[in-house]
Amino acid sequence: MHILDYTLTDSHLLSPDDSAGRFLLWVPDETCVVIGNGSKSELELNAKTIDADQVAVYKRRTGGCAVVLTPDMWCVSCALYGRKQIQSKDYFVLFNKAVTDAFARIGVEGLAHRGISDIALGPKKIAGTALYRNRDLVFYHAVINVSGDVDLITRYLTQPPREPDYREGRSHKEFVTSLSAAGFTPSRDEFEHEFTKEFERIVELLTVVHC
């Protein structure tokens, strides 16, 4: 199994520009696996099935465990540039709230921040998020399961070596769900419109805080 450098659609956001920040809502072109910066592939991946299905594996800069991306998922990627920074846990709260608030305004209610950095619907995970930061950059991305097949997660990933308390040892199939399975069919355009307002609010808020 060959692990590729991270070159997915949002990778350009890791290079700061002259703006205060940028965000991107994107959909993976094909199914792939992405491991975290500190991931151990031998512990987190089902290498035989990944190789048999010829699924690409990428390594990202952000932390957290391995994830599966499919064209039935939405990815929200946000970058903030050249500003004083707050604690990582506060970025997770801030950005996850932006995601859940944007969804709530288009009729997807009940989503909430759970664990260290998840977004959940009740006891089940809807989205995983991760963070990378250096002196000039804060980069956050979320993988939202809109209608993805949870069986693919079980096929390509092992039980993770690190779990949030609310998971309580559940398997991927017992722990992860999708918006579609919960009865929601959100509009991507509507969500992007609402999240744009949330991202602009975050940039303004942090600008005011650091003045």
Q: What is the pLDDT of residues 1-16, one digit of tens each?
A: 899 999 999 999 999 9
What sign results for the dihedral spanned by CA atoms 35, 37, 38, 41? Answer: positive
The whole-angstrom separation of Cα 51 and Cα 155 is 11
pLDDT of 47 above 80? yes
pLDDT 10s digits, 116-153 = 999 999 999 999 999 999 999 999 999 999 999 999 99
Which of 151, 134, 121, 143 has its CA nearest to residue 69?
143
Q: 208 pLDDT band (50/70/90 cuts)?
A: low
Task: Map out the domains of the chain with their CATH numbers.
Answer: 3-209 (3.30.930.10)
CA distances from 124 to 98, 167, 180, 209 (A): 19, 8, 13, 34
pLDDT of the residue at 93? 97
Report the pLDDT value the prediction gives residue 134, as an integer from 0 to 100: 94
State how far the Cα of 209 lies from the Cα of 206, in Å rounded to an integer: 5
For 171-197, what is each residue's pLDDT tens digit? 999 999 999 999 999 999 999 999 999
Q: At what angle do helices 88-104 and 188-209 cross, to 10 degrees?
A: 140
Token code pair at residue 32: 């792939």
What is the Cα gyration radius of the chain? 17
Structure confidence at residue 83 (pLDDT):
76
* pLDDT of the residue at 211: 46
Task: Write down the pLDDT at residue 106.
Answer: 98
Nearest to 77 by CA among 138, 19, 135: 138
Cα separation of the two ends of the chain:
48
Q: For residues 73 and 118, what is the distance between their CA atoms, to the nearest angstrom?
A: 15
Return mean pLDDT, the chain.
95
DSSP string across 45-68: B-HHHHHHTT-EEEE-SS-S--EE
Residue 49 pLDDT greater than 80, yes or no: yes
The proportion of the chain whose per-residue pLDDT surpasses 90, expressed as a percent, equals 91
